[in-house]
Amino acid sequence: MPYEIKFELCASLFLILLMIMSATRKRLEGYLNRIFRFYTVICLVNSIVDIVSTILLHYNDSVPRSVHWLVNGFYLVVRFIIPTIFLIYLYCKITNRSESTRKWFRIFLIPAAIGVILTLSSYATHLVYYIDGAGYKTGPAHILLYINSIIYIVISVVWAIRWKGLFSKECIYVIAMILVNYIPEIIQFFVPYYLLTGLGNAFCIYVMYFGSESQVDFVDQVSGAFNREALLYEMDEYAKIDKSINIYAIALDNFKMVNEIYGMEGGNRMMRKLVKKLQSEFGVRNVFRYSGDIFTVIVDEEIGLSKGIDVISNIFRVPFELNGLDVPLSACICLVNTNKQKTRRVFSAIEYGISQAKQRGKAQFFEVEGKTVDTIERRQVIEQTIMAEIRLKRFEVHYQPIYDIKNKCVSSLEALARLQVPGYGYVSPEEFIKIAEKNGTIVQIGRLVIEEVCKFIRENNLLEKGIKFVEINLSVVQCMREKLYKDIGGILEKYEIPPEVINLEITESAAAYSEDRLLRNMARLSMNGITFSLDDYGSGYSNIGYIVEMPFSIVKIDKFFVWGAMKKASTREILKNTIKMFKNINKMVVTEGIENEEMVNMVTRMGADYIQGYYYSKPVPRDKVIETIDRINKIYKEDSNEAEK
């Protein structure tokens, strides 16, 4: 066997092996896969024709000259076309384009087209090659074969530099493909008797094949779209260059019904049809299966938002053909702009947007704005902090002193749950309690708070400090629990705390929401000696019926009611008569939100029993409580002594 054939024969066998591996493992997907296969076939054909041409030269005298013309002409045409196909592959891979950008392909074909035309005309002009009695000869324009390759090398290098920031990993493969594809061709220019171009093409395809190794892990095998991990990778790549993109999340409506009617395979076929439509509009690399029946599409920020919505909506206006039937399909669409946000925040925004769109009904649209993304992240961090506190079986509690007007001392405390969130500091109880009620952790928080209070009472001997009771808030969810009395009773028994030291605060909204069940719980707890307060009276409907029907011993007047009485005489009169009414039915009255001496004097004249507010103290951590109580008692004891003198 002639030595120059051995290289091409090895290249051909290598290409055949790669084709078999590619067909069995389906490493590449979509349009890139088609280009890859076509490129492999062309290179294989090129190597085979080169081998045939070389063999014919050894039997030059016995082979008709027309056969030489045909074989060598075909070989040169393929040599001109191969760099074009290679460049199209790189363009689609690096710039994330699809087959819809065919206008660029026409421009790529110009250098190769010139070479092909000159090759085909060489039979008459002898410009590129000709055949004489000695065999194959090169013409004056044969150098265009190498110039053609140089043109594509330059363009490839320019693209690699241009896009290295966005797709750094792909650009490494681009450079590798350029080197292994064209260096053998340059060597052959100087040593024409070594047939190395086929070997270079084979190595190039090898790099293509294994350069796309990660795509197997990134492709959803059911739908054919890229998966969630691929979306994560792609967004990280955009984040590296600090670039914002728009993401459309498409959540199919009632897709479970499609699976029930047409089976799982029918549902899978439906998803593949949808994915192909999305890929044809937005590009293979821009379509992802986010989870289940939710898909996402990446759209460059420069493309109009309305255009993206219109394209997706139009896809669903046409029924999908399945088993010979037209099956209508609809979806809720959510739009999220990454706005240079972290990937975790964007994923949270996608899920939030989908849930909001679904709540509105079928085929709804919801756009997640930048402020909403901030709110979602804040909520998530709060939830994570709550869960961390629950896992550690602790929850921070601050205490606010309540001043006893008659005895001129602090006689009780209100326990207030506090949550310090990393990056946000202390967040309002109104905020984290609502989150806890929604995600179901409020019962665990309530139990931890009661345990913390009981532990605090026992460790600090509060009864000896003159503290008669500690008020603890109960949420709506806690009030609805049938076993509330057992939970609280068990904690009191565990810490050996007398029940009369605990006063449970219940808001009007909680009383209204679960009146019957709450009455049963209150009755059981009251039998054990626990007392109750109606909190925030005057902030809601102020239904006197709750006070009459339920065993409240204390009514706490809401701070806004008190503040209103400081501004308007009519409100002041209402407050005075409200306090008088409660006193007449033997209820103790706490006025909240007291901030100055004028307010103290007003509620004292009206007959309030207790005063709570910043005038005496803000809520303080447990290690500051005793010090604060002693300070307040000392001040008012001295004032009392001076008044007696």
Pairing state of beta strands 409-417 and 397-404? antiparallel
How far, in Å, CA of 110 to CA of 118, rounded? 13
Determine the distance from the C-alpha atom of residue 492 to the mean position of all C-alpha atoms in its chain, rounded to a whole number.
Answer: 43
How far, in Å, CA of 108 to CA of 92, rounded? 12
Token code pair at residue 643: 């008044």
The residue type of 427 is V
The residue type of 53 is S
Pairing state of beta strands 554-557 and 531-537? parallel
Residue 478 near residue 484 (C-beta atoms within 8 A) = yes
Dihedral angle computed from the Cα positions of residues 208, 209, 212 and 214, in that order, rounded to the nearest 10 degrees: -150
pLDDT of residue 25: 47
Residue 31 near residue 49 (C-beta atoms within 8 A) = no
For residue 607, which phi and psi values (nearest 5 degrees)?
100, 15
For 227, the 3-state DSSP assignment is coil
Pairing state of beta strands 294-300 and 287-291? antiparallel
Token code pair at residue 177: 């493909």
> Taking the model in full, what pTM does it have?
0.58
Q: Along the chain (645 residues), what's the average pLDDT of each consecutive run of 10 residues?
A: 53 58 48 60 68 64 72 78 73 53 67 87 85 75 82 74 51 58 60 56 59 59 83 78 82 87 88 90 86 88 68 89 86 82 76 87 84 77 92 94 93 95 90 88 92 93 89 85 86 92 84 71 88 84 70 92 93 94 93 94 95 94 93 77 54
Closest of 481, 471, 473, 466 to residue 508, by C-alpha = 473
Could you tell me the strand order of the sheet in which 245-252 lies?
Answer: 287-291, 294-300, 245-252, 331-337, 365-368
Q: Report the sign of the C-alpha dihedral through residues 367, 372, 373, 376, in that order.
A: negative
**Residue 129, burial from CB neighbour count under 10 angstroms (0-12, 13-18, 19+):** buried
Residue 217 near residue 315 (C-beta atoms within 8 A) = no
How far, in Å, CA of 457 to CA of 496, rounded? 10
Give the DSSP letter string of 153-170.
HHHHHHHHHHTTTT-HHH
pLDDT of residue 427: 92
How far, in Å, CA of 344 to CA of 356, rounded? 19
Q: Which residue has the tokens 């930048």?
A: 370
Token code pair at residue 589: 């009255």
